[in-house]
């Protein structure tokens, strides 16, 4: 077997490990969305959701740590290491803000709100699009860009849902609960912003490579 063939094989396996770790990190983040949705739908109490989110966050952090270690030692990567790191960090930001949404719901003594479900569903769809993009990062740049755009559109839906929920909140009588609910809605909006940042990270990385 030629040296070129060996290097190509090593690069392929290296790419696969990197992409598998990114996929696992996205999968953990989807679990965070599902837990927040269960809270919003009333299927789980705030305290129980907060406890469960600790395990999900630990899983996501573990996958990110493994990815960072992989990037430090791997021979080649599908896109620049710095861009992969930045993308992973943005995905981590999505999970961190999902954690904070659940934690603050419990801390503020608020119940889950079904009005959050459309926004959380948009976040889930955006993460699914990013997962599909990552699956083709090494071989189909056009598809990656399409899925990144789909994720950005989903993030835009989160912003619209936030705006509509905030407008509805301010039509109600103002009390202490209004202020707490406003903070939770703002957290939901930040989740969408971080989702948009993750999608932009992928798009920008491909543009840098001329795709």
Residue 57's nearest CA partner among 33, 83, 85 is 33
Per-residue pLDDT of 31-61, as tens digits, reads: 999 999 999 999 999 999 999 999 999 999 9
Per-residue 3-state assignment (H helix, E strand, C coil) for the chain: CCHHHHHHHHHHHHHHHHHHHHHHHHHHHHHHHHHHHHHHCCCCCHHHHHHHHHHHHHHHHHHHHHHHHHHHHCCCCCCCHHHHHHHHHHHHHHHHHHHHHHHHHHHCCCCCCHHHHHHHHHHHHHHHHHHHHHHCCCCCHHHHHHHHHHHHHHHHHHHHHHHHHHHHHHCCCCCHHHHHHHHHHHHHHHHHHHHHHHHHHHHHHHHHCCC
Separation of alpha carbons 97 and 151, rounded Å: 17
Handedness of CA 192, 194, 199, 203 (dihedral sign): positive
Mean of the pLDDT values across residues 187-198?
98
Domain span holding position 51: 3-208
Among residues of the chain, what percentage have pLDDT more than 90? Answer: 80
Would you state the structure tokens that stand for residue 119, as one six-digit string?
Answer: 């926004």
Question: Domain holding 165: CATH number?
Answer: 1.20.58.220
Query: How many domains does the chain fold into?
Result: 1
Per-residue pLDDT of 149-186, as tens digits, reads: 999 999 999 999 999 999 999 999 989 899 999 999 99
């Amino acid at each position: 077997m030629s040296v070129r063939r060996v290097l190509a094989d090593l690069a392929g396996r290296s790419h696969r490990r990197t992409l598998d770790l990114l996929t696992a990190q996205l999968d953990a983040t989807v679990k965070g969305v599902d837990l927040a949705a269960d809270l919003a739908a009333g299927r789980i109490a705030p305290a129980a959701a907060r406890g469960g989110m600790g395990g999900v966050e630990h899983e996501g952090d573990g996958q990110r740590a493994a990815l960072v270690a992989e990037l430090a030692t791997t021979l080649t990567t599908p896109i620049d290491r710095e861009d992969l790191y930045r993308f992973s960090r943005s995905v981590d930001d999505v999970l961190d803000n999902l954690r904070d949404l659940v934690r603050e719901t419990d801390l503020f003594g608020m119940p889950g709100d079904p009005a959050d479900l459309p926004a959380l569903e948009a976040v889930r769809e955006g993460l699914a699009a990013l997962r599909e993009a990552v699956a083709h990062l090494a071989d189909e740049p056009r598809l990656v860009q399409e899925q990144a755009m789909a994720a950005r559109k989903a993030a835009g839906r989160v912003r619209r849902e936030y705006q509509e929920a905030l407008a509805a909140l301010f039509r109600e009588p103002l009390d202490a609960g209004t202020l707490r609910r406003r903070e939770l809605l703002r957290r939901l909006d930040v989740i969408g912003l971080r989702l948009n940042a993750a999608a932009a990270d992928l798009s920008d990385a491909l543009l840098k490579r001329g795709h």
